[in-house]
Amino acid sequence: MTNEIVRPPGQWRGRFMLLLLASLFFGPLLLASVWYGHADRWPLPEQRANHGQLITPPQPLAGLQLQDLQGRPLAGDSWQGRWLLVYPGLPTCDAKCENLLYQTRQVRTALGKETERVQRIYLLAEVPRDPAQLEALRGLHPDLLVAVLASPETVAQFPEADATALWSGQQLYIVDPLGNLMMRYDATQEPKDILTDLKRLLRLSHIG
């Protein structure tokens, strides 16, 4: 005859429920702590799905100032506080440039009800000597803001090796409503990829 104590079924059931509740409460906290400590090794699906080059950490464009084609300051309400699709270009918009502007126009239009949250900017390094062609772009792209960078020091804040690369007409950027560079694309990027990234950013953001 043994001295083994037989515990009532109700007592085992009570302990099991206590363990279950503890796992439900502490389990997510434990998993979150583990993921946070190894976030660089285990990126979220949203992070892996970006089509553009994510700029990490986001680069603030401190002191960004814009002018129109006559060298006059551009009012901030025309571009500040919105998501910006920025194309640094050349003083003359060639066929490749015109095609890219058309594609970005289609991307913005495809955003539907979110369209007004995004502003397209054709950005120039300086006031052009003959702004006639660029002025004509407004007829084709009423929503396009053709602007001149009035703060040269801002160039150093773009993740480019030098100013020549920035103004080559081969880059496209997304800037958030707080003025941070978020993402970079090669000019040959598929428009549907840019649209996918923009939709995701707008869906996850509560600003702009």
Domain span at residue 162 reads 54-204
Q: Establish how many alpha carbons lie within 13 A of residue 167's alpha carbon, considering only the half-sphere containing its beta carbon.
A: 16
* pLDDT computed for residue 23 by the predictor: 60
Residues 24 and 77 in one domain: no
**CA triple 97-100-120, angle to 5 deg:** 100
Domain shared by 20 and 89, yes or no? no
Burial class (CB in 10 A: 0-12, 13-18, 19+), 21: exposed
Angstrom distances, CA of residue 42 to CA of 27, 49, 55, 57, 153 = 18, 13, 18, 17, 36
Is 42 inside any structural domain?
Answer: no
- Write down the pLDDT at residue 32: 45
Q: Is residue 3 in some structural domain?
A: no
pLDDT tens by residue, 62-118: 888 999 988 899 988 889 999 999 999 988 899 999 999 999 999 999 999 999 999
Are 26 and 99 members of one domain? no
Question: Are 33 and 60 in a shared domain?
Answer: no
Same domain assignment for residues 129 and 68? yes
Asked if the structure places residue 59 within a domain, the reply is yes
Specify whether 12 is located in the same domain as 103.
Answer: no
Same domain, 151 and 125: yes
Q: Provide the domain count of the chain.
A: 2
pLDDT for res 51? 87
Q: What per-residue confidence (pLDDT) applies to 19?
A: 66
Per the CB < 8 A criterion, the answer to whether 59 and 183 are in contact is no
Does residue 129 lie within any of the structural domains?
A: yes
Q: Which residue stretches of the chain have pLDDT < 70?
A: 1-49, 160-162
Residues 114 and 196 in one domain: yes
**Residues 114, 23: contact at Cβ < 8 Å?**
no
The CATH number of whichever domain residue 88 belongs to comes to 3.40.30.10
* Residue 2 within a domain: no
